[in-house]
């Protein structure tokens, strides 16, 4: 969505909300739009509006987090007050954090302490709390239990096992008449989602985290190259060529319609693929993503997650902060965990009997969060998006068979070196 598309809408809504001014103010929030994000955000925002007498308008952000960042940068750089509350990705505090107010004056320490300390730490810059955690994310392997049973296969532990299992199931299902069936779907488009997927492959093969915590560029190594070459071998074999243009919802669409054996996705997809009208309801389960082979191989899930921040240009920071605290609060996070499997940022909720009863798979998710791998956004700071763009392009080229992993990672190292002036981020 372009900025020109969003701003007139916000203006029109601001005018429409004028009549309610006497009773309260109007707050505009921009929420994500993958899966159930919009209806879930609307529901929470409406409850807050009813409780406080304010008006709230929900504006849909683009589905790709990379497009969302570009749009937010335009709005914030223009110091526009059209959006009061922004839903921000965990990798953005250093990139756009200077546009948000410090929430500390609005929130008590006990509320802050309810959340995972590492997330709070990531959202704190120069002593200022720039956002409150809303939900976290870690990559998961979704699989069709019914098909593993049918072909007498076990849940794959390694990518080699997954490749074999995917081939067996794909061949069998095609012979049985479904020629649109594929073994594996994931996020292969050239955007931030591919960075998340590829980090999992590379860490899974013991190939490091692109840039180390000390700022050293580590990505040009044989295990990382092997990880990318392995993923490239899936394209057009167990994964459709079209996966090179897939985001989260594209992968979910294929898996949910019954046309894939395995899918890499985030927890939000669980409630949708298992919903009453899903063709694969009751046939799916999740597991840790497979690991590679060789020294240092491990199961790896990329850490994601979303947070709510108040714009410095908001005319109503107090009400905007109140909306943020309501939406990120325990009650609302519990509701969203139960209704839509958004992974809560409040550790206590992983032991909540209502959550576990409604969504037993939450029992696995706390561990998934604790062992998840962060992208190198803290060390690369403001430059993270440029780092990630260079990385996802190198990966996308490899998947598209434009150069192999070794050649593309050697070039990436040069580009990252130049960008960082030799690792000085
Ligand atoms: C999920 C994650 C987010 C990540 C994005 C990539 O939304 O929560 O952190 O950047 O996926 O597509």
Please provide the average confidence, as pLDDT, over all residues in the chain.
Answer: 94
52-76 residue pLDDT tens: 999 999 999 999 999 999 999 999 9
Give dist(CA 355, CA 213) in Å, integer: 35
Q: So what's the pLDDT on residue 422?
A: 84
Q: Is the pLDDT of residue 4 over 80?
A: no
Instruction: Provide the pLDDT confidence category of residue 8 given band limits of 50, 70 and 90.
Output: very low
Which alpha helices (H) appear in 23-179, and where do they start and end? 37-52, 65-77, 93-96, 109-112, 117-123, 145-150, 159-175
Is the distance from CB of 415 to CB of 222 less than 8 angstroms? Answer: no
3-class state of residue 352 by DSSP: coil
**Residue 23: predicted pLDDT:** 72
Q: Which atom of ligand 1 is nearest to the CA of 195?
A: 6
Angle between helices 65-77 and 192-204 (to 10 degrees): 130
The residue whose CB lies within 8 Å of the most ligand 1 atoms, and thus the one to mutate among 62, 133, 199, 266, is 266
**Is the CB of 192 inside a 6 Å radius of any atom of ligand 1?**
yes
The helix/strand/coil state of 64 is coil
121 Cβ partners below 8 Å, 6+ apart?
Answer: none
Average pLDDT over residues 374-389: 97
* Distance in Å from the first CA to the final CA of the chain: 31
Band (pLDDT 50/70/90 cuts) for residue 14 is: very low
pLDDT tier, 259 (very low <50, low <70, confident <90, very high otherwise) = very high
HEC string of 234-247 equals HECCCECHHHHHCC
User: Does the structure show a pLDDT above 70 at 5?
Assistant: no
Work out which ligand 1 atom sits closest to the CA atom of 136.
8
pLDDT of residue 1: 41
pLDDT tens digits, 265-308 = 999 999 999 999 999 999 999 999 999 998 899 999 999 999 99
Mean pLDDT, range 321-345, rounded to an integer: 98
Our answer on whether the CB atom of 196 is closer than 6 Å to any ligand 1 atom is yes
Confidence (pLDDT) at 20? 41
Two tokens, residue 400: 């598209």
Q: Give the mean model confidence (pLDDT) for residues 341-368.
A: 95
């Amino acid at each position: 969505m372009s900025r020109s598309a969003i701003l007139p809408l916000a203006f029109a809504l601001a005018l429409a909300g004028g009549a309610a001014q006497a009773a309260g103010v109007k707050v505009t929030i921009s929420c994500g739009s993958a899966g159930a994000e919009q209806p879930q955000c609307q529901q929470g925002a409406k409850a807050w509006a009813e409780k406080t007498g304010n008006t709230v308008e929900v504006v849909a952000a683009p589905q790709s987090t990379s497009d969302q960042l570009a749009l937010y940068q335009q709005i914030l750089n223009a110091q526009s007050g059209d959006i009061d509350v922004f839903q921000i990705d965990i990798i953005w505090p250093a990139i756009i954090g200077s546009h948000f107010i410090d929430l500390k004056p609005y929130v008590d320490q006990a509320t802050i302490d309810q959340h995972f300390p590492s997330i709070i730490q990531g959202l704190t810059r120069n002593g200022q709390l720039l956002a409150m955690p809303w939900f976290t994310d870690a990559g998961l392997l979704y699989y069709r239990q019914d098909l593993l049973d049918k072909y007498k296969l076990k849940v794959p532990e390694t990518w080699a096992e997954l490749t074999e299992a995917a081939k067996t199931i794909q061949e069998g299902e095609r012979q049985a008449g479904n020629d649109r069936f594929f073994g594996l779907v994931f996020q292969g488009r050239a955007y931030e989602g591919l960075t998340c997927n590829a980090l999992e492959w590379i860490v899974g093969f013991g190939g490091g985290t692109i840039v180390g915590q000390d700022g050293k560029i580590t990505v040009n190594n044989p295990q990382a190259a092997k990880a990318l070459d392995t993923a490239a071998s899936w394209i057009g074999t167990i994964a459709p060529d079209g996966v090179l243009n897939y985001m989260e919802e594209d992968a979910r669409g294929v898996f949910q319609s019954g046309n894939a054996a395995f899918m890499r996705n985030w927890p939000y997809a669980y409630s949708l693929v298992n919903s009453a009208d899903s063709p694969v309801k009751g046939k799916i389960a999740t597991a840790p993503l497979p690991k590679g082979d060789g020294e240092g191989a491990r199961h790896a899930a990329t850490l994601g997650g979303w947070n709510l921040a108040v714009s410095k240009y908001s005319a109503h920071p107090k009400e905007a902060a109140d909306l943020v605290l309501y939406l990120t609060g325990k009650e609302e996070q519990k509701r969203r965990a139960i209704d839509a499997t958004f992974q809560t940022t409040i550790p206590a909720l992983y032991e909540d009997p209502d959550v576990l009863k409604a969504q037993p798979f939450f029992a696995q998710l706390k561990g998934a969060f604790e062992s998840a791998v962060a992208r190198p956004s803290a060390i690369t700071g403001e430059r993270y998006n440029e780092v990630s763009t260079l990385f996802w392009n190198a990966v996308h080229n490899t998947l598209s068979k434009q150069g192999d992993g070794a050649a593309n990672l050697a070039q990436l190292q040069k580009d990252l070196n130049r960008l960082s002036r030799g690792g000085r981020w």
